[in-house]
Structure 1
Amino acid sequence: MTNSGKPSAPFGRTLCAMVTPFTRSGAPDLGGAGLLAERLVAEGCDGLVLGGTTGESPTLTDAEQADLVRAVRDAVGPRASLVAGVGTADTRHSVELIRAAEKAGADGALVVTPYYSRPPQDALQAHFRAVADASGLPVMLYDIPARTGIRIEPETLIRLADHPRIVSVKDCSDDLLATQKVLARTDLAYYAGSDEHILALYAVGAVGCVSTVANVVPGHVAGILAAFDAGDPARAARLQLRATPLIEAMTAAGLPGAVTAKALLNALGLPAGPVRPPLRPADRAATARLLALHAELTGAGQNP
């Protein structure tokens, strides 16, 4: 299939990879999750990814994941698409999770490449098809080889695009050439999963982003894409570049995004709580730097 234009955005344009708030004791803070989700939607996010990497998916039980989807659905109603993280290293378990997510009210499912076991590409195809076949939810494939140890090769993505429920990709491959090859030959809806690539991927045909940084500056992230859509790529570029120091501090300075996002949210008085082990909270120096960069970005004005 040859793509003749930008595909539709099945889950919205500005998606936040939302943290999972916990109480001080480490239990899920479902009320806090609802409050945070409402804020994100009010400030520009039209989709939320729940129980993904930034949501500390490896530490969530199956019941906690379903409860999270229900709580956020109750809070935001139909105002935003909810994409539930259901990917694991076990096909059978992922099938169970996607069915549970559908029952809980999710609009879609994020399915990460099976990690650690490093299956070959034909096994990846079989895994993704089995999960997509297990429910009626549309699927977003999650290509993040730096974490999983294996990528979804472009030819594999091109073959998977023929599945009626495999509709999109969260792209953290950091391989712009490969991404363009898939965009040119399929109608898969690409979402930039690395905040530094939001504008670059959008400019070549992605439909939006799944942003970690949107946890703390949802309006700014939405503004990058809105400026481009309004025919002002220069403004979009200025907004992207202005966010670069915060993006680097949150996602590329040695601490996972869940840690940095929660450090900032807690410092700003917003629902987040602790991270679960083995992650550890950011120290005072890291938190102070994040706060300073956040203040610099949000106080720099909105009309560059």
Structure 2
Amino acid sequence: MTSTTTPTVPFSGIWPALLTPLDAQHNIDIPAMARHALALLARGCTGITPFGTTGEGPSFTVEERIRAIDGLVTAGVPAERILVSTSCAALPDVVILTRHALQIGAHGCLMLPPFFLKGVPDQGVIDSFRWVIDTVNDARLRIYLYHIPQVSGVALSHHVIDTLKKLYPSTIVGIKDSGCQREPSVATAQAFMPGVMVYVGNEPDLQTMGRLGSQGAVSGVANITPQLVQRLVRDFDQAGAEADQARVLQFLKILGGYGLTSAFKGMMARLTGEPGWMRVRPPLVQLSDAEYQRLCAELEVFKLDPKKD
């Protein structure tokens, strides 16, 4: 299958899958979230992606998410540099969040298929996206399809992607591929790029996907090492790229010893000196004291360099 639609490259570079800091009551700490977002933009990120998987998106209500996005904009994060994850299990909630993203002038919307019911046929996935797009009914809408079946339980097949792109050629502009399996990611890129840009969600694939023409990434790792990820997107075949790729793999090996979001937040606590970053909303569990100390020791060995990483 080869896309014959007009090429569309809505963004390039790094859009970190933004972490969501919490206060002592486990509500969103909007000032801390804004500081983190602005710091990432200052370190060269093109934009940010709040309330995805790394950002614990499904753990927050529609109202909480709207308040936080408004808070980011009020704090100085340009709306056009926000790719809002509007994913929810209930389609009317997706519509509310999507309309809000359009209202503030966000860059676009990252959208999962409905993810509670499993085993739904392709037609059900197609119908769900159609329901949202037709209900929102706004020519400004730009959707990045979010493929993470190991978490959502609902895959985006080539048939789904192809059908939606043909039905909504100016709305479906990209795919965040976080399936974490290189062969299917390569097959998707070969099938749909350049008409639908495939953005890397699995950092070990940055070089491979860059060579196929991928021009960006929505990356959880970029919360901590934005420059490192950026180099692998921009300079995937330049001198030093192999060393950068090895460093990413070393970093991921550290993360693999813990719950992913809890580990990222532990790293933020260590790097910022703000213990509140440790908090996660249930059902996630924050690092124990012993885990945190072990993580800090591993970071010392890694020798994280904020000027280079």
Please, what TM-score do these two structures have when normalized by structure 2? 0.86
After superposing the two structures, state which structure 1 stretch, 31-40 or 176-185, moved more. 176-185
Residue 7 of structure 1 and its aligned partner are, at CA, apart by 5.2
Q: Residue type matched to 1:238 in 2?
A: A
Rounded Cα–Cα distance in structure 2 between residues aligned with 1:132 and 1:240: 38
Of stretches 156-165 and 141-150 in structure 1, the one that deviates more from structure 2 is: 156-165
The ranges of structure 1 where at least 4 consecutive aligned residues each deviate by more than 4 angstroms after the TM superposition are 299-303
Q: Which residue of 2 aligns with 1:174?
A: 180
Gaps of 5+ in 2: none
Task: Give the drift of 1:3.
Answer: 5.2
Which ranges of structure 1 fall in alignment gaps of 5 or more residues?
A: none
The Cα RMSD (Å) is: 2.7
261, 265, 268: which one pairs with 1:265?
Answer: 268
1:124-177: CA deviations, max 9, x gaps? 111122223324321111111101112111222122222221111110123433
Q: Distance in 2 between matches of 1:117 and 1:299?
A: 43
**Partner SS state of residue 25, structure 1:** coil
What CA distance in whole angstroms lies between the structure 2 residues aligned with 1:86 and 1:33? 18
TM-fit CA distance, 1:269? 1.8
Paired residue for 1:150, among 128, 144, 154?
154
In structure 2, relative to structure 1, the CA distance for the partners of 1:36 and 1:192 (3 Å cut) is: same
Name the aligned partner's letter for residue 125 of structure 1.
Answer: I
Corresponding residue of 1:284:
289
Tell me, in whole angstroms, the C-alpha distance in 1 between the residues paired with 2:55 and 2:112: 13
Most deviating of 293-302 and 165-174: 293-302
Q: Deviations over 1:94-128 (max 9, x none)?
A: 12221122224422111112213122111111112
In structure 2, the partner of 1:217 is 225
For residues 151 and 254 of structure 1, do their structure 2 counterparts lie closer, same or farther at Cα, with a shift above 3 Å needed? farther
Asked whether 1:237 is paired with 2:242, we answer: yes
In the TM superposition, what are the counterparts of 1:1-304 in structure 2 within 5 Å?
2=2, 9-78=9-78, 81-118=81-118, 119-133=120-134, 134=136, 135=138, 136-162=140-166, 163=168, 164-186=170-192, 187-228=195-236, 232=238, 234-250=239-255, 252-255=256-259, 257-269=260-272, 272-295=277-300, 296-299=302-305, 302=308
Count of matched residue positions in the alignment of Structure 1 and Structure 2: 298
Give the letter for the 1:183 counterpart.
Answer: A
Secondary structure at 1:268 match in 2 = helix
Q: 1:20 to 1:209 in 2, by over 3 A?
A: same
Residue 26 of structure 1 aligns to a residue whose secondary structure is: coil
